[in-house]
Structure 1
């Protein structure tokens, strides 16, 4: 299992941002194998975690035309800056309290 960690400094968010984000989440999970997606925004900081079964799925997703367009819109309109990290999860456990 792999996790993609997306961190951004938000410039501004508009109604199109929410629509694009919802569409991308739907597409990633429905067609590209993303198994979970979580995002949080605090002030102008956004962090999104997406979980993937393998690196090939991540690379396919990265180059998909709708995602490429969203990346361009992000650079031009929504984000001051962002970073992406990809990490392999080598151990996981859950505890119910």
Structure 2
């Protein structure tokens, strides 16, 4: 199960938290989501991501980045811009984006 967690360095680094609720129209969503994860992970400064979705369509994805410049570059990526447009038009009933600086991190049960 540990391999499903992003391998992040010692803080500080940044987290982009994307919380969404989906519409009923999801044709093409899974393929686009998978492509965006692959593209994001190839983006300079991306450290990885973690995602979860409830059966009723509420999802949270946390993407980790080395710095704010990397976040802005990802936001401006042409393919990502296209996916954002489709998300607004088709797949998301609502979403929230939050950007935070990670100051402290630890893991368990054995800790670091």
Unmatched segments (≥5 aa) in structure 2: 1-12
Shift of 1:33: 2.4
Equivalences, count: 96
Which of residues 2, 23, 32 is equivalent to 2:44? 32
- TM-score normalised by structure 2 residue count: 0.80
State how 1:10-89 maps to structure 2 within 5 Å: 10-12=22-24, 13-14=26-27, 16-42=28-54, 43-89=56-102
Unmatched segments (≥5 aa) in structure 1: none
Q: For residue 3 of structure 1, what is the aligned residue in structure 2?
A: 15
1:46 and 1:31 map into 2 onto residues whose CA distance is 22
Provide, for residues 1-41 of structure 1, a one-character-per-residue CA deviation record: whole Å limited to 9, x for no partner: 00000011110322x21111111111111123211211111
Larger deviation, residues 25-34 vs 43-52: 25-34
Larger radius of gyration: 2
Larger deviation, residues 66-75 vs 35-44: 35-44
Q: By percentage of residues, which structure has more helix?
A: 1
1:32 and 1:78 map into 2 onto residues whose CA distance is 27
Alpha-carbon RMSD across the aligned residues, in angstroms, is 1.2
Q: Match of 1:96, SS?
A: coil
